[in-house]
C-alpha cells in the first residue's frame, strides 16, 4: 500500500542547486545550453504554496495521478476560480487577468483523467445555477465567441483527453486565443453578428484553458502547426508540459481526503465570490493586486535568466518574446497562489520566487517539447552500446586490461546482431569520441593491432586493472 500523503505537510522552497534530473524519466534536452540545469519536476511541485502542495500530493497518493498531471490541472482550476475575483498589476502599470492557458501532454496511463476529474469536481459544483454556458470542449471558434459575447464572461476550455480538440479549428485559432488570453474579446468577423447583439456584446471576458492531451497527438499538432503558432505569438503564451510518467495504483478509499476537501471548499468560495463580482462589473474592471518591489526585482532577474536558458534554441528576437511571456505567466501564477492562500497586501517576494521556479520548469518543458532532442545516429548508438558492454565485461572479470585484439572485437559482431561493418563503425565512433584508440603492439615478437580503451575516459574502477588477458 502507498504511504499516506503528509496531511500537515506544506510546500517549501527547494534548493536552487543544479539538478541532474529534469522531469520524470526525462533526460536534459539538447535545446538547453550546456551547463544549465532546469528545476526538476519535484522542485516545481515543492515550490507550490502549502494549500496547493498538499492537494497535489494527496491526489497522487489517493488517485494515483502523476505529479505533472496534478501540477498542470490544479493550476488550471485554481486560475479559473481566482480570475473572476482579481487581476494583477503588470510591469508596465497596467493590469492583466489571472487566467492561464495550459496544455498537459502525457503518455497513456499518466493520470490525466484522474487529475482533471478530481480537481474539476468543486468547479462543477460551484458553477451550478450559472445561466450561461461556461465549460467548453471541442467547439468551433464561432460558437465559442458567440457564447462569450452573449454573456459567458467566465469560461473554461478543459477536457481530460483532448485529441479531438487538437484536430479541431479552435486549437489553430491563434489570434482569437491570444486576445482571450488577455481577456479581450476578438473583433467581429461578420457584420450581422454585431447587429444581432445590438451593441450589448461583452468587450472583455475570461477564458481559462486547461487541456489534457495524449503525447502523440501533441507531437503531431506541433509538427503541423507549431511554426504558425509561434509566428502568431500564441505559442509563447501557452504553458506546456510533456512528460512520460505513469500513474500509480493509489490508495483509493483506504486513505481519507483532507487537503483535497480544503481545496474543494476554497474553490467553491472563490467561484461564488467571483460570480457575484462578474455580475456587477466587467472582467477588465476587477480589483487589482499589486506586486511588492522585492517581487518585481525577482521577476527582473528572472527575465534575464529566461533569456539565457532559451538562447540556444531561439533566435535573438524570439528569446526576448519567450522571456517576456514566461515572466507574464510567472506573474499570473504568483497571483493565483497569492489569492488562493488568502494572503494580504501585494504579492510577496517569497510567493514570486515560488512562481518563478514553477514558471521556469514550465519554460524548460516548453523548450523541450517545441525543440525535441534529435535521436542519435545508429552508429553512435552502437558505439555507446559497445562501450557500455566492454566496461561491463571488464568489471565482471576483475582481471581485465583495457585492450583487446581488434580482430577479436570485430569477431563479436554476430553476438550483437551487427555486421562486421557495423561493429567497425561502432569502434570508429569510440575512437573519434576519445573513448578508445587502435594501436600496433608487439606481443611475443609478433606485431598485433590492439583496440584499447582510453584510461582517462574509463570508469574509475577500470583505471587500475592489471594487464592480464580476458576471455570474451
> How much is the pLDDT for 168?
94
Q: Which residue has the cell 546482431?
A: 417
Alpha carbon separation from 431 to 116, 403, 438 (Å, rounded)? 51, 13, 8
What is the longest distance spanned by two Cα atoms in the chain?
102
Buried b vs exposed e over 408-430: b needs ≥16 C-beta within 10 Å? ebeebbeeeebeeebbbbbbebb
Kindly state the average pLDDT of the residues 93-116.
Answer: 94
Number of Cβ within 10 Å of residue 103's Cβ equals: 24
Collapsed DSSP state (helix, strand, coil) of residue 263: helix
Note the pTM of the prediction, 2 decimals. 0.81
84: CB partners within 8 A, 6+ apart:
154, 206, 270, 271, 273, 274, 275, 277, 278, 283, 286
Kindly state the average pLDDT of the residues 144-169.
Answer: 93
320-326: long-range pairs with CB below 8 Å, 24+: 321/233, 321/236, 322/236, 322/363, 325/233, 325/236, 325/237, 326/236, 326/359, 326/360, 326/362, 326/363, 326/366
> How much is the pLDDT for 197?
54
Collapsed DSSP state (helix, strand, coil) of residue 206: strand
CA–CA distance, 241 with 5 (Å, rounded to integer): 24
Q: Does the structure show a pLDDT above 80 at 465?
A: no
Kindly state the average pLDDT of the residues 103-131.
Answer: 94
> What is the pLDDT confidence band of residue 453, given thresholds at 50, 70 and 90?
confident
CA–CA distance, 209 with 159 (Å, rounded to integer): 9
The CATH code of the domain at 41-370 is: 3.40.50
Collapsed DSSP state (helix, strand, coil) of residue 91: coil
Residue among 66, 91, 216, 81 nearest 154 (CA): 81
- CATH of 381-462, picked from 1.10.101, 1.10.10, 1.20.58, 1.10.3470, is 1.10.10
Query: What nine digits make up the cell of 326?
Result: 514566461
Beta strands, E only, 290-379 = none
CA–CA distance, 110 with 72 (Å, rounded to integer): 12
Side by side, the strands of the sheet bearing 288-289 are 95-97, 87-89, 288-289
Helix or strand (DSSP H, E) at 239: strand 239-243
Residue among 74, 127, 97 nearest 262 (CA): 74
Q: Does the structure show a pLDDT above 80 at 289?
A: yes
> What is the pLDDT confidence band of residue 337, given thresholds at 50, 70 and 90?
very high
> How much is the pLDDT for 22?
66
> How much is the pLDDT for 9?
43
Q: Does the structure show a pLDDT above 60 at 25?
A: no
Evaluate whether 472 touches 412 at the Cβ level (below 8 Å): yes
Query: What nine digits make up the cell of 341?
Result: 492562500
Task: Tell me the pLDDT tens digit for each residue of 177-223.
Answer: 999 999 999 886 654 455 555 456 788 999 999 999 999 999 999 99
> How much is the pLDDT for 24?
60
Higher-scoring residue by pLDDT: 336, 392:
336
Task: Tell me the pLDDT tens digit for each residue of 397-443.
Answer: 654 557 888 888 889 888 888 999 998 999 998 889 888 888 888 88
Evaluate whether 62 touches 251 at the Cβ level (below 8 Å): yes
> How much is the pLDDT for 19?
52
CA–CA distance, 347 with 88 (Å, rounded to integer): 9
Give the domain ranges of the chain: 41-370, 381-462
Helix or strand (DSSP H, E) at 87: strand 87-89
Amino acid at each position: 500500500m502507498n504511504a499516506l500523503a503528509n496531511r500537515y505537510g506544506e510546500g517549501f522552497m527547494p534548493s536552487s542547486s543544479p539538478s541532474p534530473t529534469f522531469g520524470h524519466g526525462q533526460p536534459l534536452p539538447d535545446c538547453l545550453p550546456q551547463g544549465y540545469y532546469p528545476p526538476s519536476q519535484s522542485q516545481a511541485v515543492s515550490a507550490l504554496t502549502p494549500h496547493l502542495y498538499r492537494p497535489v500530493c494527496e491526489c497522487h497518493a489517493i488517485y494515483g495521478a502523476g505529479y505533472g498531471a496534478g501540477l498542470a490541472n490544479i493550476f488550471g482550476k485554481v486560475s479559473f476560480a481566482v480570475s473572476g475575483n482579481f487581476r494583477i498589476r503588470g510591469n508596465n502599470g497596467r493590469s492583466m487577468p489571472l487566467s492561464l492557458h495550459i496544455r498537459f501532454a502525457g503518455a497513456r496511463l499518466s493520470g490525466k483523467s484522474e487529475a482533471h476529474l478530481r480537481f474539476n469536481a468543486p468547479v462543477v459544483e460551484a458553477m451550478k445555477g450559472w445561466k450561461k454556458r461556461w465549460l467548453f470542449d471541442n467547439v468551433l471558434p464561432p460558437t465559442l465567441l458567440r457564447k462569450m459575447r452573449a454573456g459567458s464572461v467566465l469560461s473554461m476550455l478543459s477536457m481530460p483527453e483532448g485529441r479531438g480538440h487538437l484536430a479541431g479549428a479552435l486549437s489553430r485559432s491563434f489570434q482569437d486565443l491570444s486576445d482571450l488570453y488577455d481577456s479581450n474579446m476578438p473583433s467581429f468577423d461578420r457584420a450581422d453578428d454585431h447587429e444581432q447583439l445590438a451593441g450589448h456584446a461583452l468587450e472583455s471576458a475570461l477564458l481559462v484553458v486547461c487541456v489534457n492531451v495524449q503525447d502523440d497527438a501533441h507531437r503531431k499538432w506541433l509538427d503541423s502547426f507549431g511554426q504558425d503558432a509561434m509566428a502568431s505569438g500564441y505559442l509563447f503564451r501557452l504553458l506546456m508540459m510533456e512528460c512520460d510518467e505513469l500513474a500509480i495504483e493509489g490508495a483509493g478509499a483506504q486513505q481519507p481526503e483532507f487537503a483535497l476537501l480544503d481545496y474543494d471548499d476554497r474553490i467553491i468560495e472563490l467561484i461564488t465570490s467571483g460570480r457575484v463580482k462578474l455580475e456587477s462589473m466587467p472582467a477588465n474592471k476587477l480589483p487589482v493586486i499589486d506586486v511588492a518591489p522585492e517581487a518585481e526585482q525577482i521577476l527582473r532577474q528572472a527575465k534575464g535568466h529566461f533569456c539565457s536558458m532559451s538562447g540556444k534554441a531561439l533566435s535573438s528576437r524570439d528569446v526576448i518574446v519567450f522571456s517576456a511571456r514566461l515572466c507574464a505567466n510567472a506573474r499570473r501564477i504568483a497571483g493565483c497562489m497569492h489569492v488562493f492562500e488568502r494572503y494580504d497586501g501585494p504579492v510577496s517576494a517569497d510567493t514570486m520566487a515560488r512562481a518563478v521556479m514553477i514558471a521556469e520548469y514550465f519554460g524548460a518543458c516548453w523548450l523541450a517539447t517545441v525543440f525535441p532532442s534529435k535521436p542519435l545516429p545508429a552508429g553512435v548508438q552502437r558505439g555507446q552500446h559497445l562501450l557500455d558492454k566492454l566496461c561491463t565485461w571488464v568489471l565482471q572479470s576483475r582481471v581485465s586490461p583495457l585492450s583487446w585484439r581488434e580482430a577479436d572485437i570485430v569477431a563479436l559482431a554476430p553476438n550483437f546482431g551487427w555486421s562486421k561493418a557495423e561493429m567497425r563503425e561502432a569502434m570508429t565512433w569510440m575512437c573519434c569520441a576519445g573513448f578508445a584508440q587502435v594501436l600496433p603492439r608487439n606481443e611475443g615478437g609478433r606485431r598485433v593491432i590492439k583496440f584499447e580503451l582510453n584510461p582517462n575516459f574509463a570508469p574509475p574502477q577500470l583505471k587500475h586493472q592489471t594487464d592480464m588477458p580476458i576471455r570474451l
